[in-house]
Amino acid sequence: MKKLFIFDFDGTIADTQGIITKTMMMTIDELHLEKRTVEECRAMIGLPLAEAFVTLLGVDDETADLCAATYRRIFIDNNVPGAVSLFPHVFETMQKLHQLGCTLTIATSRSHASVVQFLEEMQLLDVVSYILGADDVERAKPDPFPVLKTLKDLDFKAEDAMVVGDTSFDILMGYRAGVRTCGVTYGNGTEEQLREAHADEIIDDFALLAEIAMK
């Protein structure tokens, strides 16, 4: 039985794709930068904000920081009630994993405060015992640092942990940290990308994690 689950947030727990891509495109428009498609913006989900804009637009660090600040301001306006929802079976499965005695944690490129706010609204904060946001780590995914820090801080061994995410960034983070990984196909990455990143398990339904936990 896997005792520790390290979850990505965007595209794994919550369906934030629409609000993220919308906010990225609005940011680009406001700053009069070269337009990008929804698909191009979606491919950046999982990276820290400034890094995402560098990769997406090829801008310098100063412009990327401006993009990130603009994005955060616009995101607040876009984040109206109902803009973000849980994926099917996430709530009940996380409750079940918690009841089974699993430790549930988050490693996300979103800010710590933002993911806490979402988890509180979604009534999941009480089952998540540890959160690492982009502002909590020295090096972000796909670097293994967030996983290694989680293992160290919670005193778990790599063999007792599993990373669950929807993009290659999540899977590579876990793979490089030496823990098992599970890719979900309903998020922002493709099944092919998850396999190429060395996902040990690939699932189409979050509910299947309860079965994986019992192995």
Task: Give residue-wise pLDDT tens across range 74-90.
Answer: 999 999 988 999 999 99
Per-residue pLDDT tens over the stretch 182-195 = 999 999 999 999 99
Residue 88: is the preceding peptide bond cis (ω within 30°)? no
CB 130 within 8 A of CB 41: no
- Angle of helix 49-57 relative to helix 61-78, nearest 10 degrees? 120
Per-residue pLDDT tens over the stretch 126-183 = 999 999 999 999 999 999 999 999 999 999 999 999 999 999 999 999 999 999 999 9
Confidence (pLDDT) at 17: 95
Instruction: Kindly list the distances between the CA atom of residue 148 and the CA atoms of 22, 44, 69, 103, 143, in Å, as whole numbers in the listed order.
Output: 33, 23, 29, 15, 10
Q: Is the pLDDT of residue 2 over 80?
A: no
Residue 215's pLDDT band, with cuts at 50, 70 and 90, is: confident
Q: What mean pLDDT is predicted for residues 50-72?
A: 97
d(CA 199, CA 208): 15
CB 119 within 8 A of CB 12: no
Q: 14: closest CA among 87, 120, 88, 94?
A: 87
Per-residue pLDDT tens over the stretch 99-131 = 999 999 999 999 999 999 999 999 999 999 999
Confidence (pLDDT) at 82: 86
Confidence (pLDDT) at 1: 55
- pTM to 2 decimal places: 0.92
d(CA 111, CA 16): 14
d(CA 36, CA 108): 24
Confidence (pLDDT) at 190: 95
Q: Is the pLDDT of residue 68 over 60?
A: yes
Per-residue pLDDT tens over the stretch 26-53 = 999 999 999 999 999 999 999 999 999 9
